[in-house]
Amino acid sequence: MTHALLVIDVQNDFCPGGALAVPDGDAIVPGINALMADFDAVILTQDWHPAGHSSFASSHDAAPMSLTQMPYGPQVLWPDHCIQGSRGANFHSDLRTDRADMIIRKGFNPAIDSYSAFFENDHTTPTGLEGYLRTRGITQVTLVGLATDFCVNYSAVDAAKLGFEVAVRMDLCRAIDFDGSLAAARDGMAAAGVVLAG
C-alpha cells in the first residue's frame, strides 16, 4: 500500500489578505508541513487561472459569489484569484514546497473551472493526476488544504469514485462555508465513502 498526501491549493490568495481569503486559511500550514514526513509521496495542487478566466465574476459583469450557468453546469463566480504568475497564485511562503514530489496545476483552461485535482468541472477532462498516482502504485490518498467545501471536497469525491482509499484531515482544512457549502460537502464526501478524520 502506497499512501500519498495531497495538499490542495495552499496559496496566498486563499489565505488571509488574499483575493479569495478562506478564514484562518494559513493556520493549517504548520500542521501540513509536519504531516509530510508520514507519507510515501507528497503532491501539491496549485489553482492556476489565466487572466479573464470564465470562473471570475469580472468576466461576466456579475457580482462575486453569484451563480451562473456554464455549458457544463452551474458555476459560482469568484473574485479574480490565483492568476498565473501572480503573488496570489504562489504557495504560502511557509509551506514546505521543497518536500513535494509533484506539483499539479489546474484551472488553466479558460473556459472550464477545475475544483478537483482529478477532473475539470465538466467532470470529464482529466488533469493527469490519476495516471500519476496509478503509475506510482499509490492506492491511498489523504487530503488537506483549501478550501474544504470546494477544491478539497471535489478532489476527495473524485478520488473515491476512481477507487482510491480516501481520507480528509478536516483539522488541516479550512472552508469558505458559503450558503451551506460546508455541510453539503461533508455529506457528499461521507456518501462517497471518504473518511472524515481529524
Q: Which residues bind to Zn ion, rule: CB under 5 A?
A: 47, 107
Q: Is 9 in the site for ligand VGL (CB under 6 A)?
A: yes
Q: Between 102 and 139, name the residue whose CB sits nearer to ligand VGL.
A: 102
Each residue 91-130 as x (binds ligand VGL by CB under 6 A) or -, in order, gives ------------------------x---------------
Q: Is 144 in the site for ligand VGL (CB under 6 A)?
A: no
- Helix, strand, or coil here: 146? strand
CA-CA distance, 66 to 57, in Å (whole number)?
8
In degrees and rounded to multiples of 5, residue 188 shows phi and psi of -65, -40
Which of ligand VGL, Zn ion, none binds 146 (CB below 5-8 Å, type-dependent)? ligand VGL
Closest CA to 156 of 22, 1, 4, 23: 4
Strands 67-70 and 73-76: antiparallel
Catalytic entry in 15, 26, 106, 113: 106
CA-CA distance, 120 to 142, in Å (whole number)?
20
Q: Is 15 in the site for ligand VGL (CB under 6 A)?
A: no
In angstroms, what is the minimal distance from the CB of 151 to ligand VGL?
3
- Would you state the torsion angle of the CA atoms of residues 141, 107, 45, 72, taken in this order, to the nearest 10 degrees? -10
Q: List residues with catalytic annotation.
A: 9, 106, 151
Applying CB under 6 A, which residues contact ligand VGL? 9, 14, 47, 78, 115, 146-147, 150-151
